[in-house]
Structure 1
Amino acid sequence: MIEAKNVGLSVIYGVATILLLAAVTSFIFSFILSFTHTQEKSIALLITIISFFCVFAGGFICGGKAKQRGWIVGGATGLLYSLIIFLYQYLGPGTLFSWEQLIYYICYTLTAMMGGVLGVNIAGGPQHNS
């Protein structure tokens, strides 16, 4: 049986990983955009790919910590991350998700689920003796 405390802690680690990686990559890209002649639209695809990698890594860490039911903990990580971004966007600028953003965050949640499943399998989930 999966413990709620273990799931909660795993999800927190996963979301913290996503936010940390996102902050570091945002910092790097802000320097690139500030000190070079690069325009944001020319690296938009790269930024999207890296954001999916960050979410996958968060799901992977989450699944590795939980050691079981990676799709549940990964999905919870993706949903919590999406909720945090939604609240930031709604309470800050006061806007809701657009349809395009909603699709992105559904894909982020699915990506975190895949990361969670892989994290459980690589971390070595519980061993069952038959």
Structure 2
Amino acid sequence: MGTAIMYGLAVIFVIAIVTSFIFATLLRFTNIQESSLTYIIMAISFLALFIGGFISGGKGKKQGLVLGGGTGILYFLIIFIFQYLGYDTLFTFKQWVYYACFIITAMMGGVLGVNVSSNRTS
């Protein structure tokens, strides 16, 4: 289970790094404002968590809800610790809601990942 969660978490962070690089480049070399990308970045964040949960569920091949939830919770803990230790701030209420939704999205991805992977082997 731990390996499957780590695969999902690695996929989430790879997607985050790649999209951060793309958006940083766009913001640097175009006239696009950061405020105009808010909803696009939010959608990509949800997609990244869903894909990470999907990968962890597919690798684990059982208990997709637990694997996706574990992936989402571990992602949440890493970001929370980074923000608390790095920026000395706690989450706002809005961030708590976002991360709760991220965890639920990763759980849905985990369930779908298990179901898709089990259908391939049958």
Does TM-score exceed 0.5, indicating one fold? yes
TM-score range, shorter chain: over 0.9
Aligned to 2:34: 40
Structure with the greater alpha carbon radius of gyration: 1
For 1:46-65, list aligned pairs within 5 A: 46-65=40-59
Gaps of 5+ in 2: none
Q: Does 1:29 align with 2:23?
A: yes
- Pick from 3, 6, 9: which aligns with 1:12? 6
Deviations 1:18-43 (A, max 9, x none): 01100100000000000000001111
Aligned to 1:3: none
Give the secondary structure class of the aligned counterpart of 1:43: helix
Runs of 4+ in 1 over 3 A off after TM superposition: none
Equivalenced residues, count: 121
Opposite residue 13 of structure 1, the aligned amino acid is Y
- Pick from 67, 71, 89: which aligns with 1:73? 67
Higher helix share: 2
Q: Does 1:113 align with 2:120?
A: no
Q: Calculate the TM-score normalised by the size of structure 1.
A: 0.90
Give the secondary structure class of the aligned counterpart of 1:124: helix
For 1:94-109, list aligned pairs within 5 A: 94-109=88-103
Opposite residue 55 of structure 1, the aligned amino acid is L
Shift of 1:52: 0.4
Mapped to 1, the partners of 2:86 and 2:69 lie a distance apart of 25
Mapped to 1, the partners of 2:98 and 2:3 lie a distance apart of 25
CA RMSD, Structure 1 to Structure 2 (Å): 1.3
% same residue: 53
